Amino acid sequence: MTWQDQKLPHDHPPVKSGKVGVLVVNLGTPDAPEKGPVKRYLAEFLSDRRVVEIPAIAWQPILRGIILNTRPKKSAHAYSQVWTEEGSPLAVITRKQAEAMQARLGDGVIVDWAMRYGTPSIPERMQALMDKGCERILLAPLYPQYSGATSATVVDKAADKLREMRWQASLRTLPPYHDDPAYIDALALDLTRQLDALEFEPEVLLLSFHGMPQRTLELGDPYHCHCHKTSRLLQEKLAGTGLRFRTTFQSRFGPAKWLEPATDAVLEEEAKAGTKRLAIAAPGFSADCLETLEELAIQGKEQFTEAGGEQFAALSCLNASDAGLDMLEHILRRELSGWI
């Protein structure tokens, strides 16, 4: 008897239809601007060994004993200041970006969205795509600048899902796009539009990126270089505006040394040096979120004006703007080439 004659012990699963899925991913956010949901979200986020690179045996007691007993109340208050009727800005905008990509990419592709921490989770949405017949999935973390703490951990989570499967989907990941002309052009177009609409003419445009511990740069993470390259290319495009530019890093967390200069310190420094009119943009964030709407637009404005600044504008991220969606469609189509 040859193997062909052997009866299979079970029915062979139906042949899949071979559809293509796109999973748009961003960092994650709590389900509600309240202490409990914020605590759950922070516990998951800050337990990721790629986010806090301290051995768990030393870090978990600090996280569980101190941080998760103090930070959720403060963060929940911050979230409540930016929360919308539809939910957390980060989740709402990510969903809108995914819906727009579905409309633009058409029926040949199924577009979904997920959050790396919190809900909807990456494994849940990957399963949903596979249940709809997707044999190929383009994983698209919307981080223009690569960092182990963001881009890599999205892949880790997707790989955890694949690890439990006998019949895996094929995966592609969207590479960093920090120096992609489509991204730089979209930023230049969108920021110019916003600057033109301001009621005042800024002297300085501050380009603020999310910070990272300085140690990650020394260990070879390209994030710092990616941020500076984005900043340089964007400044070249905006050279005709007459603006003076500064590149800064925000959202410092914990006592370690983070990338410098710090956004809050530069806001104060500029105001004290006599800058009266300043605009701030956050080109590394593909969607407005707590870090842009609260930390920059609310706290940043306070820091600048209290130190003597007079006019301040926090510019929006690309979000679901025409320029942002054109760029996203362009980079997704490129990564889907050969699949659609």
Ligand X SMILES: C=CC1=C(C)c2cc3[nH]c(cc4nc(cc5[nH]c(cc1n2)c(C)c5CCC(=O)O)C(CCC(=O)O)=C4C)c(C)c3C=C
| Binding positions for Fe(2+) | 210, 291
Q: Where do contacts with ligand X occur on this chain (CB under 6 A)?
A: 27, 29, 42, 51-52, 71, 75, 88, 90, 143, 147, 149-150, 210, 212, 223, 251, 253, 284-285, 289-291
Q: In angstroms, rounded to a whole number, what is the distance separating the alpha carbons of residues 59 and 65?
A: 10
Q: Is 311 in the site for Fe ion (CB under 5 A)?
A: no
Containing H/E element for 58? helix 56-62
CA neighbor of 233 nearest in space, from 281, 185, 190 = 185
Q: Is 288 in the site for Fe ion (CB under 5 A)?
A: no
Residues 6+ apart with CB under 8 A from 283: 144, 187, 207, 209, 230, 231, 234, 317
Q: Which does 90 bind (CB under 5 to 8 A by kind): ligand X, Fe ion, none?
A: ligand X
* Smallest gap from residue 285 Cβ to ligand X (A): 6
Phi/psi for 163 (5° steps) reads -55, -30
CA neighbor of 196 nearest in space, from 146, 130, 242 = 242
Q: Is 251 in the site for Fe ion (CB under 5 A)?
A: yes
Of the pair 94, 311, the CB lying nearest ligand X is at 94
Which residue intervals of 164-300 are DSSP H helices?
Answer: 181-196, 214-218, 223-237, 263-272, 290-293
Phi-psi region of 263 (alpha: psi -120 to 50; beta: other; left: phi over 0): alpha
Q: Are the C-beta atoms of 113 and 24 separated by less than 8 Å?
A: yes
Query: Segment contacting Fe ion (CB under 5 A): 52-60, 247-255, 279-287, 328-336?
Result: 247-255
Q: Which does 316 bind (CB under 5 to 8 A by kind): Fe ion, ligand X, none?
A: none
Of the pair 303, 311, the CB lying nearest Fe ion is at 303
Of the pair 221, 295, the CB lying nearest Fe ion is at 295
Phi-psi region of 242 (alpha: psi -120 to 50; beta: other; left: phi over 0): left
* Smallest gap from residue 193 Cβ to Fe ion (A): 27
Binding residues: 210, 291
3-state secondary structure of 112: strand
Q: Are the C-beta atoms of 174 and 141 separated by less than 8 Å?
A: yes
Q: Which does 227 bind (CB under 5 to 8 A by kind): ligand X, Fe ion, none?
A: none
Q: Are the C-beta atoms of 217 and 224 separated by less than 8 Å?
A: yes
Of the pair 118, 309, the CB lying nearest ligand X is at 118
Q: Is 264 in the site for Fe ion (CB under 5 A)?
A: no
Of the pair 110, 184, the CB lying nearest ligand X is at 184
Of the pair 250, 275, the CB lying nearest ligand X is at 250
* Smallest gap from residue 202 Cβ to ligand X (A): 24
Using alpha carbons, list the distances in angstroms from residue 281 to 46, 83, 191, 209: 26, 20, 8, 9
Of the pair 264, 295, the CB lying nearest Fe ion is at 295
* Smallest gap from residue 156 Cβ to ligand X (A): 15
N-term to C-term CA, the chain: 43
Q: Is 295 in the site for Fe ion (CB under 5 A)?
A: yes
Q: Which does 149 bind (CB under 5 to 8 A by kind): Fe ion, ligand X, none?
A: ligand X
Q: Is 153 in the site for Fe ion (CB under 5 A)?
A: no
Q: Is 29 in the site for Fe ion (CB under 5 A)?
A: no
Q: Which does 150 bind (CB under 5 to 8 A by kind): ligand X, Fe ion, none?
A: ligand X
* Smallest gap from residue 12 Cβ to Fe ion (A): 46
* Smallest gap from residue 297 Cβ to ligand X (A): 13
| Adjacent-strand bridge partners of 28 | 117
Q: In angstroms, rounded to a whole number, what is the distance separating the alpha carbons of residues 6 and 9?
A: 9
* Smallest gap from residue 147 Cβ to Fe ion (A): 10
Name the amino acid, one letter, at 41.
Answer: Y
The site for Fe ion (CB under 5 A) is made up of 251, 291, 295
